Amino acid sequence: MNLPADAVTALQIFQGASGWEQRARLLMQWGERLPPLSDAEKCEANLVSGCESQVWLVGQLQDGHWQFSAASEARLIRGLVALLLARVNGLTAAELQQVDLPGWFGELGLSRQLSPSRSNGLNAVLQRMVELTR
């Protein structure tokens, strides 16, 4: 399966990153690229529960392709969510089912962000994405 263009870029940048500090700075930069959600979209129904910081996730199928948007108050989780969206936006429903999301974060060198004890909310965001696309 071909990677979306944003995902290719993300992979190149993060695989070239050395050390926690550079990865954290890159995460914050990616977070800044996330287009803002409207206030109306930042509603209770779109709030992902189980996150340390508030994260909102909105997804819709447009012409058979998923388009997600998201927001968070915290910068690093925003970066993680941006990397998630880089991987999945534009995929068809069938393509999305095939994506190994934990594997994706592993390829980026960020698998520790998905350990069960992490309360940063990335696991909860992945769970919500599965529910939205079921």
Partner 1 sequence: MLIPSPWRADFPAIAALQRQGQTYLDNAATTQKPQALLDALAHYYANGAANVHRAQHLPGAHATQAFEDSRLKVSQWLNAGNCGQIVFTHGATSALNLLAYGLEHLFKAGDEIVISALEHHANLLPWQQLAERRSLTLVVLPLDADGVIDSDAAAQLIGPRTRLLAVSQLSNVLGAWQPLPALLALAKAHGALTVVDGAQGVVHGRHDVQALGCDFYVFSSHKLYGPDGLGVLFGRTEALGQLRHWQFGGEMVQQADYHHATFRPAPLGFEAGTPPVASVIGLGATLDYLSALDPQSVVDHEAALHDYLLHGLLARNGVRLIGNPRLALVSFGVEGVHNADLAHLLTEQGIAVRAGHHCAMPLFKHLGLSGAIRVSLALYNDSADIERFFEALDQALEMLR
Element (H, E) at 27: helix 19-32
- If one asks whether residue 22 binds partner 1 (CB under 8 A), the answer comes out as no
53 binds partner 1 (CB under 8 A): yes
Q: How far is the CB of 51 from partner 1 (least distance, A)?
A: 8
Q: Which of 24, 58, 114, 132 binds partner 1 (CB under 8 A)?
A: 24
Q: How buried is residue 131: exposed, middle or buried, by Cβ count under 10 Å (0-12/13-18/19+)? A: exposed
**Which neighbouring-strand residues pair with 60?**
67
Choice from 15, 29, 32, 52 touching partner 1 (CB under 8 A): 52
In the bound state with partner 1, the residue whose beta carbon lies nearer, of 3 and 28, is 28
Rounded-to-integer distance, Cα 107 and Cα 63, Å: 29
Residue 46: alpha-carbon gap to chain centroid: 15
Q: Which stretches of the chain bind partner 1, using CB under 8 A? A: 20-21, 24-25, 28, 51-54, 73-77, 119-121
